[in-house]
Amino acid sequence: MKSFSAGKIGWAGLVTLALAGAVAVASPAAADPTGVALVEGLTGNPSGVEFMDYVRAGQVIRLGPHQTMVLSYMASCVRETITGGTVTVGTQRSEVQSGQQPPESSQLTRPVARQV
């Protein structure tokens, strides 16, 4: 088995190889925008989303009538429990069509510093 040597391909070859590797690593990250919410709970097996996935604004998730998903939004601290329907992920909350989004969807509060 022959060993790899930088002298055999030259500096131009090494630079090309390094750039190709950087593009291969960066491409998946560039194709997937930052997630705005975390899937904390999931029943059933809806297409395109899994437990503990980050979902992005504008993503559409179709839930069957008995499938439930719990989303926690990072920016607004809103936690939603959604059963069935078509869910469009927003930046602060979800829009749900033909499903149930009970009023107990809650907003977590951040602790307030007390003055002594």
Amino acid at 14: L
In a domain, residue 50? The reply is: yes
In a domain, residue 64? The reply is: yes
> Would the pLDDT of 113 be above 70?
no
Let me know: does 100 contact 85? Beta carbons within 8 Å.
yes
- Given pLDDT bands bounded at 50, 70 and 90, which one contains residue 30? very low
Q: What mean pLDDT is predicted for residues 6-33?
A: 52
- Which residues form the domain of 62? 37-107
In a domain, residue 31? The reply is: no
Q: Considering its fold, how many domains does the chain have in total?
A: 1
Other CB atoms within 10 A of residue 98 CB: 10
Q: For 68-110, write each residue's pLDDT tens digit.
A: 999 999 999 999 999 999 999 999 999 999 888 765 555 555 5
In a domain, residue 103? The reply is: yes
Q: For 42-62, write each residue's pLDDT tens digit.
A: 999 999 999 999 999 999 999
In a domain, residue 115? The reply is: no
> Would the pLDDT of 28 be above 50?
no
β-pairing, 60-73 vs 37-42, is antiparallel
What is the model's pTM? 0.62
- Top-confidence residue, 82 or 8: 82
In a domain, residue 113? The reply is: no
In a domain, residue 2? The reply is: no
Q: How far apart are CA 2 and CA 45, in angstroms?
A: 49
Phi, psi of 34 (to 5 degrees): -60, 135
pLDDT for 20: 57
In a domain, residue 93? The reply is: yes
